[in-house]
Homo-oligomer: A and B are copies of this chain.
Amino acid sequence: MRITVVFRYVTSLLFKLSLFFLIPAFYSLFTGDGLFFDYLYPILLCLSVFLVGIQFKKEELNIKESILSVVLIWFLFPALSALLYMETGAIPNFFDAYFESVSGFTTTGASILTDIESLPKSVLLWRSLTHWIGGIGFVVFSLSILPAFGTGGAQLMRFEASKAVEEKVLPKVKKVARAILIVYLSLTILEIVLLKLCGLSFYEAVNHTFATVATGGFSTKNGSVGEFNSFSVEMVITIFMILGSINLSLYYRAFKRKSLKSFFSYYEVKTYLIIIFLSTLFVTFMLFEDGVYSDVVTAFRYGFFQVVTAASTTGFASTDYSTWPSSVLALLMILALIGATAGSTAGGLKQFRFIVMIKTMYRELYKTAHPTLVYRVALGNRLLDVSVLNTIWAFISLYFITTIIFGFIISLSGYDLITSFSASIACITSLGPGLGKVGPAGNFSFFSDFDKFLLSLEMILGRLEIFSILTLLLPSFWKD
């Protein structure tokens, strides 16, 4: 572990990332809210550390150094953003500000704000922007660092990514990253235009687009998307939540092949869309049957939106769904736990792991009846060997155990079990809102500073797929 190499890399990347503060800075000039210089301080801070950093020799990072760097950046950049929130007076308490920042970058969208609309517009723009930066950052992380972990089917990720650009991936991450960025930008521009056409102001269109394509869920409105009360806005956002939660490299592949066939026939996409379809049918039926909405169309409108927002782990709300039937609420949490496809900005376990889980169980069942037959688990057109399966199982299990442990720790503060465990699910899956006191009509402001910090940690753990952080705790990680 060459600490100086890591230091140089981290400070340099932090400085580059800090340039994003220029966007709200100029918007601040435009609106004249007098916060311009507040946005420059973080940049200057990063610049000064950067100037120290470049004194050290630039060298290629090895794998351990890459992991350490990435983890450091996911902890440090939110701290910088937290300083901004405190500085501008938008969020005075550090733990609140750090929570809100982590929630932004991890595209969780859980908020400690009780009155969002009272914040300066440039600050809210920055808040939405943290989603957008974090979203693309996560996808690049998935393609560059995650493959280093045997855990959680990273082999699959590497495989998929390499297929997408028909090249070996690790040395070519930059090329993939560029392709992905083009897709991400295209989705962003397209949604802004469509939301504008649906009647939103440019400002609202931009903010909600950032929160949608990154499957983040921050809104500039206290009542989230529901406040626009517009069917067309909801439909656009629903469609882009789906688009944003699908492996971005598939778009690039479809574009290169000029065919959508491979896009829709991809195993994760297929399962994902089927799950959304069936869940929407179910929720629409339940809402209508239970008398929550008296006509089927309205039941579909709200049901479809909420199913997609949960399955894509976005976490917008088009209505206060906390009074919906408990089976629907359970389904929403389950959808978030399953999550969307790998290689997207979305969280949760991811479809491929869910598919592996179902297939392995079937395999074991089959083996009982046919002990002598060899039955293997395939994903797409690739056979998985037992050691890959094992790493996937270990991940799934660690994911649930982490969720349970954090839920349990939160419950120590005396909150009811629904609040505690749904908060934990909402943070690890990057869903955002949960049930109970952290439901759509609530927020995370009532937690203690300690709990807020724990939940911030859980969001980062979930985003970095747990193992990348736990590795750092092994004494042997630090030995050469």
**Residue positions of A touching B, CB distance < 8 A:** 64, 148-151, 325-327, 329-331, 334, 357, 360-361, 363-371, 386-387, 389-391, 393-398, 400-401, 404, 407-408, 411-412, 414-418, 420-421, 435, 467, 470-471, 474, 476-477
Contact = CB atoms under 8 A, between A and B. Distances in A.
Given A326-B414, A393-B390, A396-B397, A471 B369 contact: yes
Q: How many copies does the complex hold?
A: 2
6 contacts: A149-B368, A326-B417, A327-B414, A330-B407, A389-B393, A418-B418
Q: Mostly helix, strand, loop or mixed at chain A's interface?
A: helix
Contacts of A364: 150-151, 390-391, 394-395, 398, 467
A311 to B, nearest CB: 16
A364 B471 CA distance: 10
Nearest to A414: B325
Given A334-B404, A397-B361, A326 B368 contact: no
Among A150, A327, A357, A391, the most chain B Cβ lie within 10 Å of the Cβ of A327
Contacts of A390: 360, 364, 386, 389-390, 393
Contacts of A369: 64, 471, 474, 476-477
A400 B354 CA distance: 13
A36 to B, nearest CB: 44
Sorted from nearest, which 6 A-B pairs have the closest CB atoms? A393-B393, A364-B394, A327-B411, A386-B386, A327-B412, A326-B411
Among A149, A367, A369, A416, the most chain B Cβ lie within 10 Å of the Cβ of A369
A64 B370 CA distance: 11
Given A150-B371, A361-B398, A396-B397, A417 B330 contact: yes
Nearest to A397: B357
A365 B326 contact: no
A377 to B, nearest CB: 9
A23 B382 CA distance: 60
Nearest to A417: B326
